[in-house]
Amino acid sequence: MGTGKRGLIATAVAVVCAVTVLAAPGTAFANPTPSPAPSAGAALATGQDLEAVRKKLDKLYRAAGRATDEYNAAEEKADKQSAEVVELAKKIVKGQEKLRKLKNRAGAAAAAQYRGGGLPPEAHLVLSDDPQDFLDGAGRVREGHHATKGLLGELTRTQEDLEQYAKDASAQWKKLEAGRKAKAAAQKKIEKQIAQAEKLESALQKEEQERLAELEKEAANRAQTAWLDSGILDEIDGKASEQGKKAVQYATAQIGKPYQWGAEGPETYDCSGLTSQAWISAGRGIPRTSQEQWKRLKHIAVQDMRPGDLIIYFGDASHVAMYIGDGAMVHAPRPGRTVTIAGAGSMPILGVVRPDPDTGAN
């Protein structure tokens, strides 16, 4: 890594909560100084005990993150299915009105035929005073028969369409109900994991909670330092696209707002709620969940990432953040935390995706 960037790393941790995307370079987040030793006292947990608590909390919150993705995905599907049910209902109403009009026309045609007496053409010819008038009328009758046949065919097709719309609506309704159940199940998972984590944290004394927060920072700093020591930052020099700049501006403007699972702003966010809304603000809609963002957006090599790109974390793609440059990212971490800037390598990176692959950078 260049000496200029490494020389500024030590100042980054002290200003992490104050920086913005336009802050001075150096937000690479290494660990500059050792953390203070845990407070003495028989009632306090040992460092080893607190480290076990930290790992347990990390596990619980990651499980809550996965369940949040399940919840968001179920909600997104439910919204789509609800819209489809509404559209099918509109088609059914229009079809019913069309069927009513066709039946009226068919009834009128039947009545006209009845008024003709139902006599065979030969009889009409015999009874006619003017054979030419009869022949002219016979042509109109043939046209009328063709029209009636077409009318009956349209009537049959409309009835078939209505039956299909009804079947489709029923199928979509069943999917909607299944989606609601999946959403409710995911919500229970989230609430269970968060409740367990909060119970674990609330059992700690104030000094232990403070030390636990320090341990969390230390673990993140160790990961970030290892990432930086690989020399990766020397290779990352991509510049943001115009849309990327707008997305970064939106995301960093949310710093300090609380995390809330399932939230998309404007006052609270979960991790993918923040990134999806940031890109919507930049004029580009992207998938709602981190897992779908990983599946459906273009993959970019880590060394090629630029501000605005999304960093996907953990093997299950259960967390996402936005790269803002200088080895830093902005994200909504977990329950009990706020939107903040952190080291891009402070968690295990699965990969990077780009929401606007077709635009150039400036």
- Asked whether the beta carbons of 250 and 308 are under 8 A apart, the reply is no
Q: Find the catalytic residue in 124, 145, 146, 331.
A: 331
The answer for residues whose C-beta is within 8 angstroms of residue 293's C-beta and 6 or more apart is 272, 275, 276, 286, 287, 310, 312, 317, 320, 353
User: How far is residue 200's CA from residue 194's CA, in Å, rounded to a whole number?
Assistant: 10
User: How far is residue 54's CA from residue 29's CA, in Å, rounded to a whole number?
Assistant: 20
Specify whether 17 is catalytic: no
Q: How does DSSP assign 7-22, residue by residue? A: HHHHHHGGGTTT--TT
Query: Which run of H or E residues covers position 299?
Result: strand 298-300
The answer for residues whose C-beta is within 8 angstroms of residue 189's C-beta and 6 or more apart is 63, 64, 67, 70
Please give the backbone phi and psi of residue 268, each rounded to the nearest 5 degrees, phi first.
-135, 160
Q: Find the catalytic residue in 17, 145, 146, 319.
A: 319
- Asked whether the beta carbons of 264 and 299 are under 8 A apart, the reply is no
Specify whether 271 is catalytic: yes
| CA nearest neighbour of 313 among 343, 356, 283, 284 | 343
- Asked whether the beta carbons of 348 and 313 are under 8 A apart, the reply is yes
Q: How far is CA 54 from the centre of its chain?
A: 29
Indicate which residues carry an active-site annotation. 271, 319, 331
